[in-house]
């Protein structure tokens, strides 16, 4: 039986760049279990380790999960493996599938080994994580849909889609990602120069044409039920992964819109990862009126000085669906249920308002 859950979002990110480092603890059959979901960049691993020691009073972590191989999610986990005792590591190892995907590439000279090596080099933080686990005899598992990680069920991605639909895109992603990032920054600059537009409670348009990288879409999405609450962790998932997550949940009897009481807003609140359609699928449709007391909670990791994280148009969308929205912005925030230990020095946070003007 599970009694109580704590979900802590640590402040990650310097300058304009955000990251994720999430520590989760629950009590199961009179024993505490700890799961770490992403660890931020390399610089934040020490903070994550200290957080577990200080607030969870433990040097042991049952499960470490790397949602996807980007450095702002995988980097800090190396320090966790090096400085805490870890029961299991859950991560995708795309280089392990080089023999299955090599035929997707036009370069006839490429071999299984050379493709695997190129993938390892381009995902250096994840590769270092694998090496550290192997050196310490930490079991490594891959988080595919249907896998069970403690009380959490993996809802996305499926193995087939990961291997054949996503990993082949990883090889191209460094160049594409740079181009897309530049284009997106230029686009956002134009939008910001154009200013803001009025936003109304009963009007919402988040287009379903937005796209994100294949790496982001490979994020391991986790869901757990504790008491009457449902807890959804999304990493940097985009609309493709969110749709797949909702479909898989439905296939195993989980009605996400009815069950989710806490959700991680994907990709630091960026507007290229959610749409009206996908939000309706995972957390339900907008309410007709502003609730007096929101019964659900959404958290978002955003660097203290990130000018475009989170987007107001995105946080407004969650407020419309009955969520109160909290953000890190340079401070750790915690969501917890009854039955969890009280912490000295932790107090209530200020939740985001519904913005009457949002990014155009």
Per-residue pLDDT tens digits for 114-146:
999 999 999 999 999 999 999 999 999 999 999
Residue 170: phi and psi, rounded to 5, are -60, -35
Could you tell me if residue 141 is inside a domain? yes
Q: State the residue range of the domain holding 315.
A: 2-340
Could you tell me which residues come within 8 angstroms of residue 215 by beta carbon, excluding any fewer than 6 positions away? 68, 69, 70, 166, 170, 173, 177, 236
Could you tell me if residue 350 is inside a domain? no
- Indicate the DSSP class of residue 265: P
Mean pLDDT of 137-165: 98
**Strand partners of residue 149:** 152
Could you tell me if residue 103 is inside a domain? yes
Instruction: Look up residue 143 and give its two tokens.
Output: 């988080």
Instruction: Give CA–CA dist 244/259, Å, rounded.
Output: 17
Could you tell me which residues come within 8 angstroms of residue 319 by beta carbon, excluding any fewer than 6 positions away? 290, 294, 325, 352, 354
Could you tell me if residue 107 is inside a domain? yes
Could you tell me if residue 358 is inside a domain? no
Report which of residues 247 and 206 the model is more confident about.
247
Tens digit of each residue's pLDDT (9 = 90 or more) over 172-185: 533 333 434 434 44
Residue 348: phi and psi, rounded to 5, are -65, 150
Q: What percent of the chain has pLDDT over 70?
A: 92
Do the strands 31-39 and 21-28 form a parallel or antiparallel pair, or are they unpaired? antiparallel
pLDDT at 343: 85
Nearest to 278 by CA among 222, 308, 321: 321
Mean pLDDT of 200-218: 91
Cβ proximity of 270 and 311 under 8 Å: yes
Could you tell me if residue 55 is inside a domain? yes
Instruction: Give CA–CA dist 163/250, Å, rounded.
Output: 23
pLDDT at 97: 95
pLDDT at 186 over 80: no
pLDDT at 333 over 90: yes
Could you tell me if residue 360 is inside a domain? no
pTM attached to this predicted model:
0.92
Instruction: Give CA–CA dist 304/13, Å, rounded.
Output: 7
Q: What percent of the chain has pLDDT over 90?
A: 69
Is residue 90 packed enough to be buried (19+ CB in 10 Å), middle (13-18) or exposed (0-12)?
buried
The mean pLDDT value of the chain amounts to: 89
Cβ proximity of 34 and 23 under 8 Å: yes
pLDDT at 171: 59
3 state DSSP class of 197: strand
Q: Which of 269-283, 288-302, 318-332 has the lowest mean pLDDT?
A: 288-302
Could you tell me if residue 357 is inside a domain? no
pLDDT at 15: 65
H/E element holding 174?
A: helix 173-194
Mean pLDDT of 181-194: 43
How many separate domains does the chain show?
Answer: 1
Q: In this structure, what CATH number is given to the domain that contains residue 200?
A: 3.60.15.10
Cβ proximity of 355 and 314 under 8 Å: no
DSSP string, 68-115: SS-HHHHTTHHHHHHHSEEEEEE---GGGGHHHHGGGSS-TT--HHHH
Q: What beta strand segments (E) does the chain contain?
A: 2-9, 21-28, 31-39, 60-65, 85-90, 140-141, 148-149, 152-156, 196-198, 221-226, 229-233, 262-264, 296-300, 323-327, 333-336, 357-359
3 state DSSP class of 185: helix
pLDDT at 311: 93
């Amino acid at each position: 039986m599970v009694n109580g859950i704590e979900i802590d979002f640590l402040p990650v990110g310097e300058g304009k760049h955000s990251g994720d480092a999430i520590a989760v603890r629950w009590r199961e059959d009179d024993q505490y279990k700890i799961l770490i979901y992403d660890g931020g960049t390399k610089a934040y691993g020490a903070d994550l380790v200290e957080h577990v020691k200080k607030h969870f009073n433990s040097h042991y972590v049952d499960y470490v999960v790397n949602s996807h191989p980007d450095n702002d999610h995988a980097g800090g986990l190396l320090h966790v493996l090096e400085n805490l005792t870890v029961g299991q590591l859950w991560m995708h190892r795309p280089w392990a599938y080089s023999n299955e995907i090599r035929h997707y590439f036009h370069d006839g000279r490429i071999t299984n080994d050379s493709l695997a090596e190129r993938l390892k080099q381009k995902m250096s933080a994840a590769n270092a994580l694998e090496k550290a686990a192997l050196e310490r005899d930490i079991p490594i598992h891959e988080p595919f849909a249907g896998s069970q990680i403690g009380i959490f069920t993996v809802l996305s991605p499926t193995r087939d889609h990961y291997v054949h639909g996503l990993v082949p895109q990883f090889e191209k992603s460094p160049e594409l990602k740079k181009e897309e990032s530049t284009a997106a920054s230029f686009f956002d600059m134009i939008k910001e120069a154009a200013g803001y537009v009025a936003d109304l409670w009963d009007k919402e348009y988040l287009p379903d044409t937005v796209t994100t990288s294949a790496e982001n879409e490979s994020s391991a999405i986790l869901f757990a039920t504790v008491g009457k609450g449902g807890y959804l962790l999304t990493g940097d998932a985009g609309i493709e992964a969110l749709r797949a997550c909702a479909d898989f949940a439905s296939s195993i009897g989980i009605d996400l819109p009815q069950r989710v009481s806490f959700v991680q807003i994907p990709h630091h609140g960026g507007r290229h990862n959610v749409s009206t359609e996908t939000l309706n699928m995972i957390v339900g449709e907008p309410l007709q009126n502003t609730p007096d007391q929101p019964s659900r909670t959404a958290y978002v990791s955003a660097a203290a000085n990130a000018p475009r994280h989170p987007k107001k148009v995105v946080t407004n969308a969650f407020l419309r669906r009955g969520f109160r929205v909290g953000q890190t912005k340079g401070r750790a925030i915690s969501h917890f249920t009854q039955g969890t230990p009280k912490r000295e020095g932790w107090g209530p946070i200020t939740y985001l308002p519904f913005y009457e003007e949002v990014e155009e």
